[in-house]
């Protein structure tokens, strides 16, 4: 027995050693694998989601800018919550808020009981509660933010009331106004109820004073005397000390000037993104060149104000910028009045990356774009490796509120209950080589046949289109209540608020409601439709960017 134990002990010891060696080898091999993975693994690009977002806006490769200009997106069309200043926030009027308010008045009755039902006390709180409840049921796509106290209408049983709102489909927190006239009656227990309501902007007694330009139509120093709600005045740098304390990024005019507006947006957001990456104030030229594709003269038109198309008030809230003219004047004044000149770093090529400029301490970094095209495009700065560091701030660029007010007017006139079809024609319909079926697929007969299977008969149908002939869609009028942008010309006519305010921005000179503005309005009305029919997804099998690009 003793001999057996002696013989078996080496076997057990060898087995333990073997198991130990195997375990150690597995451990070493595992460590080796993790080491290799750690060295070779490339984590996902933190800006990948941002680049995917920019593809939604641009939809082109290698910056050719041959994309469809019939739909123009800006930051408020992005599906994320925007940065909102505290002053822009409002409490939404919901069913719970209305019921809570009504509870505080449950014991109140009409001063005269139900004896006099011919007169309505419009300033009474129960009238407002009745109107709020009516609006909540009638306009489900609207978020009501705040109401004014109702005022008397034109008859004893009518009340006019104004409110602020936004559409639930809009991503920005901009507020708009409506004022309507309601006929008020009495329900059970002498409580008020809405018997009927008139249309968009019908409650004229509740309307705020309209904007006026004074004293004359030709006065370049005209000023708004009443009612302007848009604060898009140009920010002032201030004293010499304030000018000197800041650091600036200045882009000279390059080859993007007078190119397509999508290219302008792509390049402008590159410059703003670099300024934010470098923690500098962007020097910004507010004078744009509108390309011939959008002008009635069919020629490039310079001197267009940035504020005609984009929201400067919002841009001021989320970004730091200085207007070019004032910046150059302050720079010149400083150099005249001080012996020590402003430190300037001139950058001649876009190949000098933002990363190389990150630690530069010069007061002004001046990017100059003097090379031949396409070397002189602003957006080249954000290509290549820079794309991983410079993020285009799409959230900073919204469409002009004056344009968006027209959008709300049109949607309101349709009581926010309409469908829309986007009909792309123009040069694309004539180019049979790139779009062989587009012309036939968007013909009047084809539109009638296609839409009847998508949109219910006799619905309000808004047509967003670049088709120049108004009568082109007459066949649809036998099936739908057709609306085109030209049906609302009074919204930018010479008696409109838009006309007065844009003329003020233009030094007293009238502003043409140009093709780019039309596309901006069409785009936003299209987004607000309950049913949306697209050309290249619903009407035709052709590819959006031409043959073999689907």
Per-residue pLDDT of the chain (550 residues; tens, 9 = 90+): 444 444 445 666 676 777 777 777 777 777 667 665 555 444 333 333 334 434 444 443 344 455 556 667 787 776 544 444 444 455 677 766 666 666 655 544 444 445 555 678 898 888 999 999 999 999 988 999 899 999 999 999 999 999 999 888 887 788 899 999 999 998 877 788 999 999 999 999 998 876 554 434 344 444 443 345 788 888 887 777 788 889 999 999 999 999 999 999 999 999 999 999 999 999 999 999 999 999 999 999 999 999 999 999 999 999 999 999 999 999 999 888 888 889 999 999 999 999 999 999 999 999 999 999 999 999 999 999 999 999 999 999 999 999 999 999 999 999 999 999 999 999 999 999 999 999 999 999 999 999 998 999 999 999 999 999 999 999 999 999 999 999 999 999 999 999 999 999 999 999 999 999 999 999 999 999 999 999 998 999 999 888 888 8
Contacts of 386 (CB under 8 A, 6+ apart): 274, 353, 354, 355
What's the topology of domain 401-539? Answer: Rossmann fold (3.40.50)
Residue 259's nearest CA partner among 400, 42, 63 is: 63
pLDDT value of residue 77: 74
Q: Cα(129)–Cα(343) distance, rounded to whole angstroms?
A: 63
Pairing of strands 176-186, 158-167: antiparallel
Per residue in 221-249, is it b (16+ CB within 10 Å) or e — as a string? ebeeeeebebebeeeebeeeeebeeebbb
pLDDT value of residue 36: 57
Residue 399's nearest CA partner among 106, 76, 104 is: 76
pLDDT value of residue 238: 72
Helices (H) and strands (E) in the chain, counts: 16, 18
**Is residue 90 exposed (0-12), middle (13-18) or buried (19+ Cβ within 10 Å)?**
middle
CB 331 within 8 A of CB 342: yes
* Residue range(s) occupied by CATH 3.40.50 in the chain: 401-539
Q: Cα(98)–Cα(104) distance, rounded to whole angstroms?
A: 10
CB 483 within 8 A of CB 529: no
DSSP code, position 543? -
pLDDT value of residue 128: 93
Pairing of strands 419-423, 532-533: parallel
Q: Which residues on adjacent β-strands are paired with residue 142?
A: 167
pLDDT value of residue 181: 96
Q: Cα(218)–Cα(33) distance, rounded to whole angstroms?
A: 79
Pairing of strands 321-323, 281-284: parallel
Contacts of 143 (CB under 8 A, 6+ apart): 92, 165, 166, 167, 168
pLDDT value of residue 10: 65
Residue 485's nearest CA partner among 455, 465, 471 is: 465
Beta carbons within 10 angstroms of residue 345's beta carbon:
14
Calculate the alpha carbon distances from 521 to 3, 374, 400, 446, 465 in Å.
101, 31, 10, 25, 11
Q: Cα(467)–Cα(484) distance, rounded to whole angstroms?
A: 11
Q: Where do runs of H (alpha helix) occur along 173-311?
A: 240-245, 261-277, 306-309
Q: Is the dihedral of CA 10, 13, 18, 24 positive or negative?
A: negative
Secondary structure of 39-90 in the HEC alphabet?
Answer: HHCCCCCCCHHHHHHHHHHHCCCCCCCCCCCCCCCCHHHCCCCCCCCHHHCC
pLDDT value of residue 39: 52
Reading the block at residue 383, the tokens are 């290509």
CB 444 within 8 A of CB 475: yes
pLDDT value of residue 46: 32
């Amino acid at each position: 027995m003793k001999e057996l134990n002696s013989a078996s002990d080496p076997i057990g010891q060898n087995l333990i050693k073997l198991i130990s060696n195997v375990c150690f080898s597995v451990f070493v091999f595992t460590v080796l694998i993790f080491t290799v993975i750690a060295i070779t693994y490339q984590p996902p690009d933190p800006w990948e989601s941002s680049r995917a977002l920019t593809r939604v806006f641009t939809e082109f490769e290698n910056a050719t800018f041959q994309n469809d200009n019939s739909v123009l997106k800006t930051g408020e069309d992005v599906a994320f919550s925007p940065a909102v200043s505290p002053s822009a926030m409002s409490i939404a009027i919901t069913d719970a808020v209305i019921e809570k308010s009504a509870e505080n008045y449950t014991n109140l009755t009409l001063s005269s009981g139900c004896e006099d039902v011919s007169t309505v006390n419009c300033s009474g709180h129960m009238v407002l509660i009745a109107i709020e409840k009516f609006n909540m049921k009638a306009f489900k796509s609207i978020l009501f933010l705040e109401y004014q106290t109702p005022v008397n209408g034109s008859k004893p049983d009518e009340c006019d009331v104004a409110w602020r709102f936004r559409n639930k489909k809009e991503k920005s927190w901009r507020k708009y106004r409506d004022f309507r006239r309601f006929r008020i009656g009495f329900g059970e227990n002498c409580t008020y109820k809405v018997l009927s309501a008139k249309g968009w902007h019908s409650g004229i007694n509740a309307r705020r004073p309209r904007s006026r330009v004074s004293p004359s139509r030709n006065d370049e120093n005209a000023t708004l005397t009443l009612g302007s709600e848009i604060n898009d005045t140009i920010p002032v740098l201030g004293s010499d000390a304030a000018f000197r304390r800041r650091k600036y990024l200045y882009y000279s005019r390059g080859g993007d000037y007078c190119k397509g507006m999508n290219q302008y947006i792509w390049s402008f957001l590159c410059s703003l993104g670099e300024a934010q990456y470098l923690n500098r104030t962007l020097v910004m030229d507010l004078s744009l060149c509108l390309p011939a594709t959008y002008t009635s003269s069919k020629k490039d038109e310079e001197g267009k104000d940035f504020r005609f198309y984009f929201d400067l008030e919002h841009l001021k809230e989320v970004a730091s910028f200085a207007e070019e003219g004032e910046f150059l004047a302050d720079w010149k004044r400083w150099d005249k009045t001080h012996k020590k000149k402003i430190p300037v770093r001139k950058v001649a090529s876009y190949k000098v990356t933002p990363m190389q400029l990150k630690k530069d301490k010069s007061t002004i970094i001046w990017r100059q774009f003097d090379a031949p095209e396409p070397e002189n495009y602003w957006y080249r700065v954000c290509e290549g490796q820079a794309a991983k560091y410079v993020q285009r701030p799409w959230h900073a660029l919204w469409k002009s509120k004056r344009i968006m007010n027209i959008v709300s007017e049109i949607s309101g006139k349709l009581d926010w209950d309409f469908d829309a079809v986007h009909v792309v024609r123009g040069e694309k319909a004539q180019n049979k080589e790139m779009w062989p079926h587009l012309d036939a697929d968007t013909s009047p007969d084809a539109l009638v046949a296609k839409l009847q299977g998508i949109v219910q008969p006799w619905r309000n149908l808004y047509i967003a289109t670049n088709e120049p002939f108004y009568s082109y869609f007459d066949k649809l009028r036998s099936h739908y209540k057709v609306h085109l942008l030209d049906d609302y010309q009074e919204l930018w006519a010479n008696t409109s608020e838009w006309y007065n305010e844009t003329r003020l921005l233009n030094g007293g000179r009238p502003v043409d409601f140009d093709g780019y503005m039309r596309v901006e309005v069409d785009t936003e009305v299209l987004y607000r439709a309950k049913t949306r029919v697209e050309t290249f997804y619903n009407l035709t099998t052709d590819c959006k960017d031409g043959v073999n690009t689907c």
